[in-house]
Amino acid sequence: MRIQRSISAFLLLVIFVSGCSIFRTIENVSRLKYKIQNASDYKVAGISVGDKKSIKDFKALEALKITSSVVKGTLPVTFTVYIEAKNPNDGTGGYPRTDLSIESFPWRLFINDNETVTGNIGEPVFVPGKGESTIIPINIEFDIVKNVKEKNIDDIIALALQLGGIQKSTSSLKILVKPVIGTPLGNITYPDEITVVDKNFN
């Protein structure tokens, strides 16, 4: 009888400790923060727009290539968005230091609140528990003519330059993600998408 009680007590202890460990792990995962750090390498129809402010800044052949492409109903755009992931679980503030890895990062990109393209990271990203940030590069490729509301050629080019020209801004970008985080207890998938924007961590 005593042996059975001892075994029962031990099992309850194991369950309690395991439950605390699982809860702490989930809590640590929830403390991961994300924001859009910046975006770069904007190209429209293969032409870099980082040094341009308006259509007048394009060379004649470049302008002709872009205009002809839009008239045909297509204008490929490529660029890279850099997501800053911060793991505050550095062992201070009552939280144990916890190294985490982002195993999957399915995302949906919105431009001016219009869903444009979806994707995922190609390989896991390690986020050490040092209170420092890790950068996640996301390569974006889509057809701006087919994926945005703007249909006038001037508006389309203006939008492209707003995103990647001299006065570029990431304020019109929003990314919805549903990360899968690798932990010592296994992978944990976020229950819902989170919204990632520039300037402030989510």
**Domain annotation covers residue 184:** yes
**What is the rounded average pLDDT of the residues 13-38?**
62
**Domain annotation covers residue 141:** yes
**Domain annotation covers residue 202:** no
Confidence of residue 20 (pLDDT cuts 50, 70, 90): very low
pTM of the model: 0.81
**Domain annotation covers residue 104:** yes
**Domain annotation covers residue 85:** yes
Taking 50 as the threshold, does the pLDDT of residue 35 lie above it?
yes
**Domain annotation covers residue 162:** yes
- pLDDT tens sequence across 67-78: 899 888 899 999
Q: Which regions of 16-113 does DSSP assign to beta strands (E)?
A: 33-44, 47-48, 76-86, 100-104, 107-111
Q: How far apart are CA 44 and CA 49, in angstroms?
A: 7
Which domain, by its residues, includes 23? 2-196
Taking 80 as the threshold, does the pLDDT of residue 59 lie above it?
yes
**Domain annotation covers residue 51:** yes
Q: How far apart are CA 134 and CA 52, in angstroms?
A: 30
**Domain annotation covers residue 97:** yes
Q: Residue 152 has what DSSP assignment?
A: S
- pLDDT tens sequence across 119-128: 999 999 998 8
Q: Which regions of 45-171 does DSSP assign to beta strands (E)?
A: 47-48, 76-86, 100-104, 107-111, 114-119, 125-127, 133-143
Q: How far apart are CA 154 and CA 59, in angstroms?
A: 16
- pLDDT tens sequence across 47-57: 999 899 888 89
As for how many domains the chain has, the answer is: 1
- Structure tokens given for 25: 């792990």
- pLDDT tens sequence across 139-186: 999 998 888 776 677 888 888 888 888 888 888 899 999 999 988 778
